[in-house]
Amino acid sequence: MVWAREMSSKSTSDTAEPTPAVGGEVRQQADWQQLYEEKVRTPEQAIATIKRGDKVFIGSGAAEPQILVKALIESSGRLADTRIMHIMTLGVAPYTEEKFTDQFRHNAFFIGANTRQAVAEGRADYTPVFLSEIPALFRSGQIPIDVALIQVSPPDKHGFCSYGVSTDVVKSAAESATRVIAEINPQMPRALGDCFINVDDIDILIPVDVPLLYSHFEKADEVARRIGRNIASLIEDGSTLQMGIGTIPDSVLHYLTDKKDLGIHTEMFSDGFMELVEKNVINNVRKTTHPGKTVASFCIGSKKLYDYVDDNPSIEFHPTEYTNDPFIICKNDKMCAINSAIEVDLSGQVCADSLGSMFYSGIGGQVDFIRGAARSKGGKPIIALPSTAKNDTLSRIVVNLKEGAGVVTTRGDVHYVVTEWGVAYLHGKNIRERAMALINIAHPKFRKKLLEGAKKLNYVYKDQLLTPEEVAYPEELETTMTTKDGAELIIRPIRPTDEEMLSDMFYDLSDQTIINRFFSMLKSMPHRKLQQFCCIDYTQEMSLAAITDDGPRSKIVGLGSYHLNPATHKAEIAFLVADAWQGKGIGTFMMRSLVKVAKARNIKGFTAEVLRDNLAMIALMHKSGVPTKSELVEGSYLFTMDF
């Protein structure tokens, strides 16, 4: 039998020539072809070698050997207590049907849609385990495999078949199994990397010619797009990404078109990343391990994706004990790991594999990549989830996880949590700070209830305030500025979670700056006063904060505010700039920003009271860009600006 692909020039790529299997040597073409012919069987003949009580592994994802699975079911009448195991597959899983209870028992290392009901009803099992650690269970014999049913590409001229779109745990399963039965499919891409098996190491070969399983995903809704935009704001040029499949990862990719030199080191990828490769946004040139290469363990998507993977030297597939090893992951500088969750409690615990006590998916590679990214230089471990479920009737930010819910990522591992309402940074934060940060990114309709729950648990101050439920954070007012000496600052509306930063700023102020702003020498700024500055309604009040960066070490260095007088429909303004940042244009920028905001909201003008010796603030009053009047009253200037 001669395969059209085996002799093609692309199958001899110099960039990723397969290494021999353990204990073997590269065979001459004539040797492996003869061996190949001797091992060819029909699917029925192959399945006939499976005995009652055997432990059978089935290949993963889009590489599920569909013909062999069908033959296995057709042979169910002679089988009993056959143990079947795999991570998620895209195909059907008839062996989980109730009528096959005596013939088959499935063990899921990750629960997919095709096995979820069987696990929930107790007709199948679930093993919670890190994806990086599954291969060791196979290799050590703790989970023995009698037969591995897999699907691979046709052999190349050296007799090596590629695991194609799924190397993941398939490689370790095949290398650990007593017997390997492989579908040889010319429609399976010849992926490159550490993803080959020699004909010599396959016991039975089943020639097939069938399309791979494909996956089609829903278009992103507005919630997914907002989450994607928030995540994209965290990703810097030169970052290396890990992400899964679905509307949120695709939305992240959509908002990365202005980034440069991104890389990929991931458990899996789908179609979304191809567009960024074509635009040279993803080029892997700044990766610190495997530069120039996209590294993954499997992919799921369309035929276009599978064709792109075929013999592509820019993509390497490796087994999960490598791709998901936190110590390998962290070698990539600026590693950004993006993973999903079902719910997150106010202490930061992440449930990702169950709905209460009902197992829904699996641990997968979440913890592997969260821990790897946390140890990366400049890395960012990110948990992403919509703020609500069931048509906005349930909050996914919760006071306590549901009864029976499992913690996949611990509160000690969590760094960033992202919803459509914003980003909460939790690492190194105390419980009060965590609770407030998470409440701030929950859906507004649930924030009051969450705050009440936090108070009952003594997580937060008993008098803690929140932004009113009906008021939306004015994201459109977020911008940046460059100071006179070239420093980049973020200018955005104040948030309830900024209280700690505002406190730090206050206690760094000189006595004179405090007197200029508050007209007396304040010795303290306790919580009850601070929160009045941070918890505003963005309509009657507005405060813009100047922040050094948007990360865990950010500082507030300036504050510009107005408070509306409903009687006159004018607003009183006030400014505060940290001593070390005065004279750099922050006040002027904020003044003009507040004027713009006020005009858009039909406010008639500003008023201000300034001490007569506060020369810097007096000068600022004349930089608003609108006509300004002043009069001296009892040692202070009263300014009026009419729009």
Res. 54 pLDDT band, cuts 50 70 90: very high
Backbone angles phi, psi at 124, to 5 degrees: -145, 160
pLDDT at 583 > cutoff 80: yes
Q: Is 267 annotated as catalytic?
A: yes
Which of 456, 485, 509 delimits the end of a domain?
456
> Distance of alpha carbon 146 from its chain centroid, rounded?
36
- How high is the mean pLDDT of the chain? 93
- Answer yes or no: do 419 and 512 share one domain: no
Q: What percent of the chain has pLDDT over 70?
A: 95
| Token pair 């040692």: residue | 635
Predicted pLDDT of residue 246: 83
- Answer yes or no: do 89 and 183 share one domain: yes
Across 109-201, where does the E strand assignment appear?
124-126, 147-152, 160-162, 179-184, 196-198
Q: How far apart are CA 191 and CA 185, in angstroms?
A: 13
CATH code for position 390: 3.40.1080.20
Joined together, the tokens standing for residue 572 give 């009183």
Q: How far apart are CA 643 and CA 150, in angstroms?
A: 74
- Of residues 175, 183, 267, 316, which has the active-site annotation? 267
pLDDT at 581 > cutoff 90: yes
- Answer yes or no: do 417 and 283 share one domain: yes
Q: Is 236 exposed, middle or buried (0-12, 13-18, 19+ CB in 10 A)?
A: middle
Q: In sequence order, what are the residues at sequence separation of 6 or more whose Cβ sits closer than 8 angstroms to the Cβ of residue 25? A: none
Predicted pLDDT of residue 468: 83
CATH code for position 539: 3.40.630.30
Higher pLDDT, 16 or 343: 343
| Token pair 């599954």: residue | 134
192 part of a folded domain = yes
Res. 32 pLDDT band, cuts 50 70 90: confident
List, for residues 271-324, the tens digit of each pLDDT value. Answer: 999 999 999 999 999 999 999 999 999 999 999 999 999 999 999 999 999 999
How many separate domains does the chain show? 3
Joined together, the tokens standing for residue 483 give 């100071």
pLDDT at 116 > cutoff 90: yes
Write b or e for each residue in 312-351: b if 16 or more Cβ atoms lie within 10 A of its Cβ, otherwise e: bebbbbbbbbbbbbbebbbbbbbbbbbbbbbbbbbbbbbb
Across 415-437, average pLDDT: 97
- Answer yes or no: do 82 and 231 share one domain: no
Which of 426, 456, 486 delimits the end of a domain?
456
Which of 207, 234, 263 delimits the end of a domain?
207
Q: What percent of the chain has pLDDT over 90?
A: 89
- Annotate 574-601 with DSSP letters as a single string: EEEE-GGGTTSSHHHHHHHHHHHHHHHT
Residue 480 pairs in a beta bridge with 490
Predicted pLDDT of residue 2: 34
Higher pLDDT, 133 or 8: 133
Res. 36 pLDDT band, cuts 50 70 90: very high
513 part of a folded domain = yes
- Answer yes or no: do 588 and 498 share one domain: yes
List, for residues 78-90, the tens digit of each pLDDT value. Answer: 999 999 999 999 9
Joined together, the tokens standing for residue 636 give 């202070």
List, for residues 155-173, the tens digit of each pLDDT value. Answer: 999 999 999 999 999 999 9
- Answer yes or no: do 230 and 315 share one domain: yes
461 part of a folded domain = no
- Answer yes or no: do 291 and 401 share one domain: yes
Domain that holds residue 363: 222-456
Sign of the alpha-carbon dihedral angle for 281, 285, 286, 287 = positive
List, for residues 201-252, the tens digit of each pLDDT value. Answer: 999 999 999 999 998 777 889 999 999 999 999 999 999 999 888 889 989 9
Q: Which amino acid is at 641?
A: M
469 part of a folded domain = no
Q: How far apart are CA 531 and CA 497, in angstroms?
A: 9
- Answer yes or no: do 41 and 174 share one domain: yes
Across 437-464, average pLDDT: 97
- Answer yes or no: do 371 and 401 share one domain: yes
pLDDT at 451 > cutoff 60: yes
Res. 31 pLDDT band, cuts 50 70 90: confident
List, for residues 528-552, the tens digit of each pLDDT value. Answer: 999 999 999 999 999 999 999 877 7
468 part of a folded domain = no
Predicted pLDDT of residue 10: 34
- Answer yes or no: do 293 and 412 share one domain: yes
Predicted pLDDT of residue 345: 98
Across 331-337, average pLDDT: 98
Predicted pLDDT of residue 30: 58
- Answer yes or no: do 401 and 486 share one domain: no
467 part of a folded domain = no
569 part of a folded domain = yes
Q: Identify the DSSP state of 442.
A: S
Q: How far apart are CA 107 and CA 104, in angstroms?
A: 10
Angle at 547 between CA 580 and CA 458, to 5 degrees: 110
- Answer yes or no: do 186 and 311 share one domain: no
CATH code for position 71: 3.40.1080.10
pLDDT at 13 > cutoff 50: no
540 part of a folded domain = yes
This prediction has a pTM of: 0.90
